[in-house]
Structure 1
Amino acid sequence: MDGSIARPRPLLALGVRLLAALALATMGMLVKLAGERGAHLMELIFWRQLLTVVLLLAGLALTGRLAMLKTRRLPAHARRAATGLVGMVFTYGAVLLLPLTEATTLGFTAPVFAVLIAMALFGERIGRYRWAAVVIGFAGVIVVMQPFSGLHEGVTLTGVAVGLIAPFMVALISFQIQDLNTTENPWRIVFWFATLSLPVAALALPFVISAHDPVTWALIVGMGLVGALAQMLLTTSLRFGSAAVILLMDYTALLWASFYGYYIFDRAAPTSLWLGAPLIIAAGLLIAWRERQLARSRVRSGE
């Protein structure tokens, strides 16, 4: 046995996801800084994936654990790589198109999209509690973005659309990772995602790459290192806990995004964000509570 099979450890999962939220917020800050200095979206994705592959190969080679990368589920990894690459495009795109706090807040709708995905793809019955959460979550989006009274500074409809597609992809990817975690270890999942998506990103590189100064390269390398760490933390958290519960820790990213937004980008979060974000977070909490109730019911019924 190579330790591939996931073992539920809720407290560990929550702690790891808490660190993942910090890493993701930091990566978003570095992506935005690098983008403002001329780095292209696809260039950032290429370097992020290349650094991940190099770091994993070097680390596992030095510790004599390269055999951990062997897999019998290459098609599943390929599907995860395809959706993951699309997800990265929209996640990075949201950070580049929107202020950091707004992009982060829209990302909190992932649990809401997870409910809709469970209904559409897996035929899961959605009751009144989770439907209420869906309504509350999107009401929060409307409050934050204020589309009917004029979008506030730095926010565009294109940015909002990209910012909503990103958490949809995150929710979809979470289901894929949970499935892979039943047979694969985190190193293997992250390695094959980066390896299979890297050639696609490389195809775009000749059309978007440009010369950068040392500071920009430092930001790109830092983004890649923090991104690799975030990917490992995210995958590990899903290995030890259910997506419905551990996604709650993602909300702490708003604190870090607000901190970075104010001290790095000299932009305080608007009042509408602090009014709407609690609605989006409440929707996630309601979904998590209901998922927990349903899980307990299934256990009692012997399913």
Structure 2
Amino acid sequence: MAEPIRYHRPQMALLIRLGAALVLSIMLVFVKLVTQSGVSLTETLFWRQLPTVPILLAWFAARGQLSTLGSTRLKAHGGRAMTGLMGMFLNFGAVTLLPLAEATTFNFTSAIWAVILSAQLLHERIGVWRWAAVLLGFAGVLVIAQPGGGHIPLLGAAVALGAAFMIALISIQIRDLAQTEHPLTIVFWFAAFSVVPLAIALPFVIVPHTLYQWSLLGGLALFGLLGQFLLTAALRFGAVASVIVMDYSSLIWATLLGWWVFDLLPPHTTWLGAPLVVGAGLLIAWREHCLSLQKARAMVGE
């Protein structure tokens, strides 16, 4: 299967990834608004996933590349879809239970969970730097959550941390699939597989909607799909290690959108804990970049 053409334009990659962070933050605003309006989380996920299938089919058909969507690894795609669907339930659930800034901050712990999973599942050797980042990140979580006496509901914190854990697990699955599959093929089969159980559950939760609710669902689907395209486009112009730093800008967007739309600003505990979580993620990203450079030099020297 032909790989997508890549262009080395790091500044363009950073700009697109920054746009993706903004777009996905707006998507979360729609998630919060639509669930507050009375639409169930199951139906919200259904309308988030459904448009992806026909749009990608039309996209590849127009380009004469429908064969790109073919795969010999449907079992792996199915496993990734079920994991991804659970992760989306938790991620969207965290947004409904927590303010946007706090939900976004907890989401950043996915980098910390990825280190732990790499050690447990991939038997990767984790050095002092990354273990220190894990401890730093969880210290930040404790500062924000203030177990037993903070403004954050413990259920919301647990759901958000569960969502971050699932994101880390999904990243390992995608890393494996990306060795043989086109990025948009992974997106397509995720939507195609996950929409089936959502469609089965839909008759039990769907209710008549107002024009306002339909507009929220339409905005959610639009910004969700646009965010996926921007994430993919960024990787056409730059490497993951170089663009991932832009993801942390979503904390800025979430804070501004939470203030503008919901009239909520994070308390002092979030301002103190968020830099620890973000710093942990940046430390892990920096260390991963250093290790990849070392591996590249070792291969050249062989």
- Indicate how the Cα distance of structure 1 residues 175 and 14 shifts in structure 2: closer, same or farther if over 3 A, else same: farther
1:252 aligns with 2:252: no
Instruction: Judge which range, 10-19 or 71-80, deviates more.
Output: 10-19
Give the TM-score normalised by structure 2. 0.92
Structure-to-structure mapping, 1:4-43, within 5 angstroms: 4=4, 11=11, 13-43=13-43
Q: What is the aligned partner in structure 2 of residue 126 from structure 1?
A: 126
How big is the shift at 1:160?
0.5
Q: What is the aligned partner in structure 1 of residue 272 from structure 2?
A: 275
How big is the shift at 1:180?
2.2
| 1:297 counterpart SS class | helix
1:166 aligns with 2:163: yes
Q: What is the aligned partner in structure 1 of residue 136 from structure 2?
A: 136
1:224 aligns with 2:255: no
How big is the shift at 1:175?
2.2
How big is the shift at 1:33?
0.4
Pairwise CA RMSD of aligned residues?
Answer: 2.1
Counterparts of 1:195 and 1:94, CA distance in 2: 24
| 1:228 counterpart SS class | helix
1:301 aligns with 2:292: no
Q: What is the aligned partner in structure 2 of residue 74 from structure 1?
A: 74
- Indicate how the Cα distance of structure 1 residues 181 and 4 shifts in structure 2: closer, same or farther if over 3 A, else same: farther
Q: Which amino acid aligns with 1:46?
A: F
- Paired residues of 1:178 and 1:238 also in contact (CA < 8 A): no
1:83 aligns with 2:83: yes
| 2:262 counterpart SS class | coil
1:287 aligns with 2:287: no
| 2:181 counterpart SS class | coil
- Paired residues of 1:177 and 1:235 also in contact (CA < 8 A): no
Gaps of 5+ in 2: none
How big is the shift at 1:166?
0.8
How big is the shift at 1:276?
0.7
| 2:50 counterpart SS class | helix
Counterparts of 2:55 and 2:228, CA distance in 1: 12
Counterparts of 1:101 and 1:65, CA distance in 2: 40
- Indicate how the Cα distance of structure 1 residues 132 and 116 shifts in structure 2: closer, same or farther if over 3 A, else same: same
Q: Which amino acid aligns with 1:47?
A: W
- Indicate how the Cα distance of structure 1 residues 161 and 6 shifts in structure 2: closer, same or farther if over 3 A, else same: farther
- Paired residue for 1:206, among 200, 203, 207? 203
How big is the shift at 1:12?
5.0
Counterparts of 1:86 and 1:237, CA distance in 2: 26
Instruction: Judge which range, 187-196 or 9-18, deviates more.
Output: 9-18
Counterparts of 1:180 and 1:237, CA distance in 2: 19
Instruction: Judge which range, 122-131 or 285-294, deviates more.
Output: 285-294
How big is the shift at 1:90?
0.6
Counterparts of 1:293 and 1:181, CA distance in 2: 22
How big is the shift at 1:132?
0.5
Q: What is the aligned partner in structure 2 of residue 106 from structure 1?
A: 106
- Paired residues of 1:186 and 1:239 also in contact (CA < 8 A): no
Counterparts of 1:56 and 1:183, CA distance in 2: 19
Counterparts of 2:163 and 2:5, CA distance in 1: 28
- Paired residues of 1:6 and 1:183 also in contact (CA < 8 A): no
- Indicate how the Cα distance of structure 1 residues 122 and 67 shifts in structure 2: closer, same or farther if over 3 A, else same: same
Deviation beyond 4 Å, 4+ runs, structure 1:
4-13, 235-245
Q: Percent identity?
A: 52
- Indicate how the Cα distance of structure 1 residues 20 and 259 shifts in structure 2: closer, same or farther if over 3 A, else same: same
Counterparts of 1:252 and 1:87, CA distance in 2: 21
How big is the shift at 1:235?
4.2
How big is the shift at 1:57?
2.0
Q: Deviations over 1:109-168 (max 9, x none)?
A: 1111111111011001111111100000010111112114x121xx31111100001111
Aligned length: 300
How big is the shift at 1:62?
3.4
- Paired residues of 1:174 and 1:243 also in contact (CA < 8 A): no
Q: What is the aligned partner in structure 1 of residue 186 from structure 2?
A: 189
Q: Which amino acid aligns with 2:261?
A: I
